[in-house]
Every structure is written in C-alpha cells, then in structure tokens.
Amino acid sequence: MTDKLPIDYKRAIQSSGKNIYDPIEIGDVDYWIPTQHLETLLDEGLRGKVLHDAQGRAFPNRTRSKIVKAYACEALGYPVPKSFKKIQPRFVGQQFDTYTQKAMNLQVWNEELSPARRYAIIQISKDDVVLRVRVMNGQELALLDTTGTATTKYQARLETRIDVRELVSTCDTAPMLQHVCSGASFISTTSPIDEPESGTLLPIGEIFQRLSPLIGQSFSDPGMDQERNRGAALHRLICEYLGYSYYEDMGQFPDVRHQLLEVKLQTSPTIDLGLVLPSSEEHLNIKQIGGHHPRYCDTRYVMFYAITDGTKVTLTHLFVVTGADFFTRFRRFEGNVANRKIQIPLPRNFFGL
C-alpha cells in the first residue's frame, strides 16, 4: 500500500466529522496522524501566522494560546471549538499540546513528560510571527534534558557473563509471530526507518544470527562526549548486516523502525531506558501491523557491550531480547521523581532553519 501523504490525513479528518476531543487509537491507519506528518501539517498551517494586533502589540499569552490552537485545528482539518477544554493534552485525539517559544527554554507545567504524548513546539519571532513548528514525543524530548529533572527515567544494569553472544528471547512475542518472516530481504529503496510491515520483519533469532559476526569488530571513537555519534556508527553497521542498502536514522524510538528494533551501545553497565519500561504494554506510535498494534514489549532490543581505548570502540558482547523478556536478564533500577515544573533548554539548532 502506498504511504499516505499529510494532506490525506487532513482530508480524512475533515470528512469524518471528528473533533479534537474524539479519541483515536495510536497508530489508527485512517485518522492517527504519524508524527512526521503532524509536524508537516502544523508547520505548513502555522508558519507565517501573525500573533499581534493591528497596532503590532503582542497578544496576551492566554489569547495567543487560543489563537494558535485554532490555527492548529484548521491545519489538521478539525473544526475549531467555541472554547478549548482545560484538559491534558488539549488535542486529545492526536495526543498533543502546543507550546509557543520566543526563548529556547521549554517549560512544561504540572505534568510529567509522557512517551505517548506529542509536543508541538512553535517558534515565534520577536515580531510575533510563527517561524517554524517542531513535533516530538516525550521520549525524544527527555533526551534534550541536561538537568536530569525532566521526569522519571528508568535504568537497568548490564552484567556480562562468559558467553559473548546471548539470545535472551528464543522467539518473538506471541502477537508478532504471524508477522515475522525468515529470510526476509529488502529492496534497494527500503529504508530502516520505514514503517514495519507484516512479512518483512525478521524473526528475533535471525536478527541475532545476522548481527553475531559484529562481535570483535571496531570503529573509530569520536570521543567520550560524543555518545550519539558512537551510537550512529554502530547503527550504521547494524543496518548493513541486517541487509539494508543504506543507513538512515530518524532519531525516534525504535531506532530501526522497519524491524521494530531498538539499538543500544553500552560502554558502562548502566542501561538508560528513558521514560518507558521495555516491558510496558503501552502502544507504540507506529501504525498497526496486520490487526496488531505494536507495544513497547513487542520491540526487539539489540545491545552491544563495548570497550574503548579513546581511539577505537571494540564490540565485545551482544544481547538480543524482546521488551517483554528484558527484565528476565537485566536488573531494573528505580527512576527519579520529576519536578512539577519541567524546564528543558532547547539546542540552538533545534528549529533547524
């Protein structure tokens, strides 16, 4: 089936008669707008909108917030309600809130970041004109928090054993079994960040077999403060060994979306899990596979333990496990409690213009 365009979702919502409070299941193929398309629709619909009066005076915050939400309704094909209910999130059906930003310091009040929630972050110029809209989920947003106060962050401990290759889960979760296919191969245009499809998912055991030869391999270490770049180097190797023609990374969970596969590179025993437990039965922000909506516990985790001498990283241990089985092998730590007001400094290049 051809992937839908952003306008297709807008037209479907317009013809459905739904309002922003009508619930939509995450991943619904007709009405749930995938995050990248949600960002496109909001960016195209809001960019250039003026948020001041005829005399050039900025609207009060409350008025500005209401106007922005009205523009968001129009951008997505929803009718504008007479008033916006004071509930979280304001856009219940699409699970997102809007945040207008003149400064690069995002503030989220009276709630924790949620992995299922989307955050539409709207850049406003000094002249009160919308410049750009970015949409992220809570898991991605938490990665930008450098203060450690954003919300509960889960961790686990990795302890190596004699065996350098461990297939912790001998099979995929029961709902996924009918959708995996041994020996699946990918055409040259298949991207690792494509949505997963029934019949193109490798069984977890085959993922383990394809990645096992990576043990003992090395790649350049960009530095101790460059964890993201080190992870990208491993991610690139994994895409190659799984059979993809090229590497691509959207920076979203899970890393290899097409295989429902999360990648972790460990040079210390502490595993950072972010806002959600691997064993969670919450739905992923991924479209349904057949009749099944993938959950976090259906995700396959590939973890490599590695050593570094400061110049090169060498892969020493491999672990492959489903989210459902994750804590049968790795011991969970307790997370930290969140502050009521969350402040996240946004990177200078966050809006990318």
The confidence score (pLDDT) of residue 120 equals: 93
In a domain, 352, yes or no: no
Buried b (16+ CB within 10 A) or exposed e, 53-69: eeeeeebeeeebbeebb
Neighbours of 138 (CB within 10 A): 21
Bigger pLDDT: 222 vs 67: 67
Residues 122 and 139 in one domain: yes
In a domain, 302, yes or no: yes
- The mean pLDDT value for 6-35 works out to 93
In a domain, 1, yes or no: no
The confidence score (pLDDT) of residue 151 equals: 53
Name the domain count of the chain.
2
E-state strands within the chain = 96-101, 105-109, 118-124, 130-137, 154-157, 165-167, 218-220, 261-266, 270-274, 300-308, 312-322, 331-333, 341-345
Residues 308 and 206 in one domain: yes
Neighbours of 204 (CB within 10 A): 27
Pairing of strands 300-308, 165-167: unpaired
Structural domain boundaries enclosing 291: 154-333
Residues 132 and 190 in one domain: no
Residues 127 and 210 in one domain: no
Give the pLDDT band of residue 204 (cuts 50, 70, 90).
very high
Residues 136 and 172 in one domain: no
Residue % of the chain over a pLDDT of 70: 91
Q: Give the lowest-confidence range in 67-76, 90-99, 341-350.
A: 341-350
CA distance 266 to 285: 25
The confidence score (pLDDT) of residue 148 equals: 55
As to burial, measured by CB atoms within 10 angstroms (0-12 exposed, 13-18 middle, 19+ buried), residue 328 is exposed
Residue 86 tokens, joined: 């004071």
Per-residue pLDDT tens digits for 177-186: 999 999 988 8
CA distance 32 to 23: 10
pTM attached to this predicted model = 0.65
- The mean pLDDT value for 264-277 works out to 87
Angle at the Cα of 190 from the Cα atoms of 186 and 196, rounded to 5 degrees = 85
Find, among 12, 14, 48, 40, the residue nearest to 28 by Cα. Answer: 12
In a domain, 350, yes or no: no
Residues 328 and 314 in one domain: yes
Give the pLDDT band of residue 226 (cuts 50, 70, 90).
low
Please name the amino acid found at residue 78: Y
Residues 213 and 128 in one domain: no
Per-residue pLDDT tens digits for 106-127: 877 656 777 778 999 999 998 8
The confidence score (pLDDT) of residue 58 equals: 82
In a domain, 56, yes or no: yes
In a domain, 233, yes or no: yes
Residues 174 and 321 in one domain: yes
Q: What is the DSSP letter of 296?
A: G
Residues 187 and 318 in one domain: yes
In a domain, 256, yes or no: yes
In a domain, 109, yes or no: yes
Please say if the pLDDT value at position 278 is more than 80: yes
The confidence score (pLDDT) of residue 295 equals: 94
The confidence score (pLDDT) of residue 338 equals: 36
Residues 138 and 160 in one domain: no
CA distance 26 to 116: 8
Please say if the pLDDT value at position 251 is more than 80: no
Residues 132 and 173 in one domain: no
Residues 175 and 324 in one domain: yes
CA distance 54 to 312: 60
The radius of gyration of the chain's CA atoms, rounded to the nearest angstrom, is: 21
Per-residue pLDDT tens digits for 290-339: 889 999 999 999 999 999 887 899 999 999 999 999 999 999 986 544 33
The confidence score (pLDDT) of residue 57 equals: 81
